[in-house]
Amino acid sequence: MQKNKNTIFDEDNENKMYILSVIVENKPGVLFRITNLFRSRNFNIESITVGITEKPDLSRMTITTVSDVKTLEQLVKQLQKLIDVIQINVLNKENAVYRELALIKMNAKDPTTRIEIANFATIYRGNIMDISNETITVEIIGTPDKIDAFKNLVSSYGIIQVARTGVSALPRGAVNDDL
């Protein structure tokens, strides 16, 4: 018996994070169709970002999902079936640049706390976006792992609010799209 070769990915049943860079029509209802597909087919979305591309009639959605390859393959095929989806690139940590932005507001009533947090922010190449007598808000840009690490580091001060953008990504190197 021959091994199944009809998958677009290597056989591997481990759950991994994948980044899907999806070019879609820039028109109303498209985001709804995509998120509804994830819901109705029981796929999981870690994060989703949407923004206009270099072409005004196209948007790029960056979707991160944690799944095994079989599920991922089915997800890609189902997405491909959507008429508003023009192109899908499956990216990973190796073949793409990817970044997320997070705003993290923490308790900082004590002036020494504020200094400590500011120092941590500098180490993480973050920016202080807002400071008051009671709080400090830091902007961190990086991979989701880096943001998680910063959050862990400052969690003891008491995190009040977090806003994360979700991952944006582009493949590395030359582009061979024919869009």
Chain contacts with another protein (rule: CB under 8 A): 1-2, 4, 6-7, 24-25, 29, 32-33, 36, 40, 70, 73-74, 77-78, 80-86
Provide the minimum distance between the beta carbon of 103 and another protein in the complex, in angstroms, as a whole number.
31
* Count of beta carbons in the 10 Å neighbourhood of residue 34: 22
Provide the minimum distance between the beta carbon of 56 and another protein in the complex, in angstroms, as a whole number.
15
Provide the minimum distance between the beta carbon of 3 and another protein in the complex, in angstroms, as a whole number.
8
82 or 141: CB nearest another protein: 82
Please state whether beta strands 85-91 and 58-67 pair in parallel, antiparallel, or not at all (unpaired).
unpaired
How wide is the angle at C-alpha 41 spanned by C-alphas 36 and 44, nearest 5°? 80
73 or 148: CB nearest another protein: 73
Provide the minimum distance between the beta carbon of 88 and another protein in the complex, in angstroms, as a whole number.
11
**Is 75 within 8 Å of 67 (Cβ atoms)?**
yes
40 or 152: CB nearest another protein: 40
**Is 149 within 8 Å of 170 (Cβ atoms)?**
no
